[in-house]
Structure 1
């Protein structure tokens, strides 16, 4: 898109809704003057050096933070501080990036990934992640929020890095270290809403559309009056992560919540931005949308009226795997209660591709044009922050399922035709929950958050007594990984399986390289087994409590989760809740 103006001085601000504004910088006041397009500038303001600053719109007497602030040392309600990204001396000159196809993603939350909860501590685990066999580290949102700990989706200052994690300089060091370790970085970004505390954007201009809300509050103004600059604010932020912080891609949160009726959708502009930065840097840039629309247009090239994104999350895969290994069929899981549902997802990507969704009470989705989309464009998982954290107690699969069931989830995720994503701790069957936690300093907001959480789960039939208080610091502490588990018993056994599966994925091109039409699936609901084939590689899974024998499953055994046997060379015997991978 073409913006009518831009930030030409480091203190310029877009504030079309005020009739006067004053910059406060290092204790001095600088009355600002209009320079067109709703932008204000401050002649004589400090042009260099580190500066603490804020803005006084109209007759305000308390300075507000900069909407484009890079640092908030004292929190989201206090003064901003300048930050010069070019001061970092990058050491990733040899990094050439990573394509999505063939990659494995590892999703983590900085605050709970380590005991310390910092970017520096997370960087200390990069060697472990490399040995695990992942290719991308995907960070949950790191931008500024009110309080000390939060999932990150309550952010209000999108250009900042939370000081508790180490701030922007620590973020640059983390990305640099990841690249030196051979790992790409994907940053989770939220552009569909703002958090409830510290959002001062409406004091400056029409950033939000009052009365047109989504699940989390007022919608961002993507298509109304003044939306040219609002979109530029978003796209400049996306470009900041890609250029100033060298990240390799963005995961764009809940794009189905965007309200955008313009002819060129914001998602198409994200696709174009990624391509432009890729051309500039010579590195692949990966734009991934979180969407529950099952609309493959997000993935189609822009020259055929698509949005040109590299990937999107696929909830259907998660639901089909979850139901078939756990037996849970309530709510949105109800349509996935069969091996047939899993088989369809493996073959065509979406289960709801125009089919009736009982959870929604309507038909949903549309088929993928397999000539335009590679299976790798669908990012899949058996667990993620939402599917765990939005359960009443934040319980992981490992807290209720056996090793065999967890092993089936691992095999399905890491041998599927799609791009696998792991959630931190999944690889060793972490038993620590990942619960919904907040730290709102305002007592009334904290109380409302806790009560709202209880009411949400009461409507779903959960006992309110089991729902943790998100404001209780213990809820946050419980959610931190216990790394000591990784070396014990079945935890260590599961970790070794994950490492073997990622290695097999890298050494077996058929698993990640072939298209949709190269996947064949057969299954038997009664006996509880399913087999899918990618070229001459066969993945066979037993979802039952009984031993299963397949008479036509001969070949070289590449991997098994529980001592699969081939008694006569042409058949395969699988123990209950186990899987085997063969080359036929």
Structure 2
């Protein structure tokens, strides 16, 4: 690909060792391009090279200077590859030298993906301050919890200071109100020093609505395909090479210049690309080349609403080479099994039965007819467990409810413990959503801070329309209101209060068990077996590794349920019982027993037994 260099950023404004600015802009249909530096009253003309790239080298632009591009003597526009927007999305870009950050993570050793226990955070609501610096102060808490990887929701610059992050319009620019590029670099540096990997959520399927100037520079979008956000990003139409380079360089920048360990790519099923080499495959190739040069390991994880192993199969098997995918189906099955409503896409899932299948087969729909989709859906998968990310809640599944209720508001204290256990004993990669580990009561609602009154009203109207069938539950919160944003922040003062304190201790114990017991942390799906009893709402999950067995007994019903499980071991030792009084439960389960496993399971409980005593 023309101009692609994995070892350094080439598009936008970059600086040499002598602080000379090297400027490169892709504007294939422009006749004239100039760089404007208003603070110095300077104008620098760019020269057009092949395939629509405009180039300049100048000493007039220095780190910290504000600048614009002017195309054909008309409108002044910020840099599409801007690294800083101190005056919001409509203001001038600011030149930065991101290579000047003093990293202290030289001893960081990135661990295998199978060791990921992820924790999803939204920088704006994770702390009261809503900054990277404030989030850094919580890292010891996450280490103590047992987390191994912090997943950051998107930080690409968006309009205002309140947004989930999926309305970013400058993919290379870190949200200024969070602390900008240096704030993110400092956060990643601090994570690595404390032994935490960092996953960054990026959006390559659409660009936000306010401050989106990409189409004014070139054909970044195509009318060939429509998406929920309008015209698709142009990955396979005329002039697509420049667009592909733009996003490939973006992925490489996060890994190389920000030391990010993994990218979580949003809704890749919405990427429209019929090129001989899909854009995800090309990103995989270039990231592989970067890893060869640096010796550092990086992972590519996708959010995927398709049960299609083509995305996670390696390039050698004609796959797209993604390392892992989110499987919402596990979440949907778990939510329905816990007694929550079967509306919308949840209607496709059966309590107990669907969850048992997901434990065994990863995909619930792997070639069966989906009533919700009105078609046969999915394929069977033999991919290893470390290629699937599971959770009991996440930003989407909480925030896309009308009132943004967390699981703590929807199920009992005892059921919360069951859901946590169900995720952490799975043969997949577990992920927590910020605050769930102590039963946060504040909602996580949808919020934006668009400046355009018409756009803001359109978002309000859209949310009202989306939930008009739920009028009995009240009005949907105003997404533009600052109160909606403030209401969505974590209440850290509740961590030391009951019952939150007990819930937090319970999560710590669960995670410690997950990390210490080889049948749980070895993600061999061939050593998993599942039995279920739909009439009693009981699932018996067996995990095995070498000579050790762990039996996970889950009762999702509101009544005691007897279980009788043939076992071969002479002695069984309790690893954890969610119903134990230690966890504010109603009944202690036996600490050990011999012979056949015959027990009465308390309502809404999970109990783990092992044939090894440690």
TM-score band, normalised by shorter chain: over 0.9
Q: Is the 8 A contact 2:326 2:389 kept in 1?
A: yes
Alignment partner, residue 558 of structure 1: 575
Aligned residue-pair number: 579
Of residues 494, 500, 505, the one that matches 1:491 is 500
1:444 pairs with 2:454: yes
CA distance in 1, matches of 2:491, 2:264: 26
CA distance in 1, matches of 2:222, 2:473: 34
CA distance in 2, matches of 1:255, 1:337: 27
Q: Classify the secondary structure of the residue corresponding to 1:323.
A: helix
Q: Is the 8 A contact 1:98 1:283 kept in 2?
A: no
Q: Is the 8 A contact 1:454 1:464 kept in 2?
A: no
Alignment of 1:59-78 (within 5 A): 59-61=73-75, 63-78=76-91
Alignment of 1:186-197 (within 5 A): 186-197=199-210
Of residues 7, 22, 31, the one that matches 1:10 is 22
| 1:512-559 residue CA offsets vs partner (Å, 9 max, x unmatched) | 214222110001111121111111111110111111222337611111
Q: Is the 8 A contact 2:386 2:523 kept in 1?
A: no
Alignment of 1:129-278 (within 5 A): 129-210=142-223, 212-278=225-291
Q: Is the 8 A contact 2:47 2:56 kept in 1?
A: yes
Greater alpha carbon shift after TM alignment, 343-352 vs 267-276: 267-276
| Distance change (3 Å), C-alpha of 1:276 and 1:395 | same
CA distance in 1, matches of 2:387, 2:533: 29
| Distance change (3 Å), C-alpha of 1:23 and 1:324 | same
Alignment of 1:442-481 (within 5 A): 442-458=452-468, 460-463=469-472, 465-481=474-490
Alignment partner, residue 22 of structure 1: 34
| 1:398-440 residue CA offsets vs partner (Å, 9 max, x unmatched) | 0121111101110011110000000000111101000000011
CA distance in 2, matches of 1:110, 1:330: 31
Alignment partner, residue 388 of structure 2: 378
Greater alpha carbon shift after TM alignment, 126-135 vs 94-103: 94-103
CA distance in 2, matches of 1:138, 1:115: 19
Alignment partner, residue 281 of structure 1: 294
Q: Structure 1 residue 166: deviation in Å?
A: 0.6
What's the TM-score, normalizing by structure 2? 0.91
Q: Classify the secondary structure of the residue corresponding to 1:202.
A: helix
Alignment partner, residue 131 of structure 2: 118
Alignment partner, residue 583 of structure 2: none
Q: Is the 8 A contact 1:175 1:245 kept in 2?
A: yes
Q: Classify the secondary structure of the residue corresponding to 2:90.
A: coil
Q: Structure 1 residue 574: deviation in Å?
A: 1.8
CA distance in 2, matches of 1:267, 1:12: 24
| Distance change (3 Å), C-alpha of 1:422 and 1:451 | same
Q: Classify the secondary structure of the residue corresponding to 2:443.
A: coil
Deviant stretches of 4+, over 4 Å? 1-6, 460-464
CA distance in 1, matches of 2:239, 2:285: 22
CA distance in 1, matches of 2:437, 2:139: 15
| 1:102-137 residue CA offsets vs partner (Å, 9 max, x unmatched) | 320000000000000000000000000000111110
Alignment partner, residue 577 of structure 1: 604
Alignment partner, residue 543 of structure 2: 534
CA distance in 2, matches of 1:4, 1:94: 29
CA distance in 1, matches of 2:341, 2:174: 38
Q: Structure 1 residue 48: deviation in Å?
A: 4.1
Q: Give unmatched runs, 5+ long, in structure 1.
A: none
Of residues 318, 322, 327, the one that matches 1:305 is 318
Q: Is the 8 A contact 1:249 1:288 kept in 2?
A: yes
Alignment partner, residue 584 of structure 2: none
Greater alpha carbon shift after TM alignment, 52-61 vs 437-446: 52-61
Q: Structure 1 residue 363: deviation in Å?
A: 1.3
Q: Is the 8 A contact 1:30 1:45 kept in 2?
A: no
CA distance in 2, matches of 1:308, 1:248: 16
1:430 pairs with 2:440: yes
Q: Structure 1 residue 47: deviation in Å?
A: 5.6
1:505 pairs with 2:514: yes
Alignment partner, residue 526 of structure 2: 517
Q: Is the 8 A contact 2:158 2:165 kept in 1?
A: yes
Q: Classify the secondary structure of the residue corresponding to 2:313.
A: coil
Q: Is the 8 A contact 1:551 1:572 kept in 2?
A: yes
Q: Is the 8 A contact 1:256 1:292 kept in 2?
A: yes
Provide the aligned C-alpha RMSD in A: 1.7
1:364 pairs with 2:374: no
Q: Is the 8 A contact 2:22 2:58 kept in 1?
A: no
Q: Classify the secondary structure of the residue corresponding to 2:405.
A: coil
Alignment partner, residue 141 of structure 2: 128
Alignment partner, residue 39 of structure 1: 53
Q: Give unmatched runs, 5+ long, in structure 2.
A: 15-20, 581-587
Q: Structure 1 residue 270: deviation in Å?
A: 2.5
CA distance in 1, matches of 2:22, 2:479: 38
| Distance change (3 Å), C-alpha of 1:530 and 1:126 | same
Q: Is the 8 A contact 2:63 2:96 kept in 1?
A: no
1:403 pairs with 2:409: no
